[in-house]
Amino acid sequence: GPMTAGEGDGKAAAKKPVARGRKKKQAEPATRGLTAAQTAQGTPPAAVAKLAAAIETEGGSVLAVFRDPLGGNWQILAALPLEIVRPTPFQRDLSETHAARLAQAIDGLDRFLDPVIAVRAEAGVYWTPNGLHRTAALRALGGRTVTALVLPEMETAYRILALNTEK
């Protein structure tokens, strides 16, 4: 599993109990997660390799398979055909104004700089819990492809969707 801060350093975690009502102490700088080199090391689990193969079969292109620097979880940066990326069900409604503003900004830069999160829902269908407006903007511009951070677990998409609808 992912390494946690302090794991394997031989020191016992002697922590004082935190008094209730106090703000959580901020983590010490550079003590959590992976080094830059570690994000690209290791062999992806079978489920991640299978997902990468599915992306390629379904018209996408795997750009990178790597581990998230904070939690060490495997994920895939991919280019996906826009027509196979859909909003996660139960998502908030599209704001036409927001999508139009995004389209204008993306068009002005001539770059799509903010990949969406996606999960594979079924063969040839990827759901995005946080890319409704960016994918709508790309469609309005006639875009063919969207860059996506494809996560191997559906639960993470639902957690992101919940965070986005809490606002």
CB of 128 closer than 8 Å to CB of 96:
no
Between CA 165 and CA 19 the distance in angstroms is 32
- Which pLDDT band, with edges at 50, 70 and 90, does 6 fall under? very low
pLDDT the model gives residue 151? 97
Starting at the earlier edge strand, list the strands of the sheet with 145-150.
Answer: 61-67, 74-81, 145-150, 116-122, 125-128, 85-87
pLDDT the model gives residue 157? 87
Its pTM surpasses 0.85: no
- Which pLDDT band, with edges at 50, 70 and 90, does 104 fall under? very high
In tens, the pLDDT along 68-92 reads 999 999 999 999 999 999 999 888 8
Using a pLDDT cut of 90, give the percent of the chain over it: 71
pLDDT the model gives residue 17? 54
- Which pLDDT band, with edges at 50, 70 and 90, does 24 fall under? confident
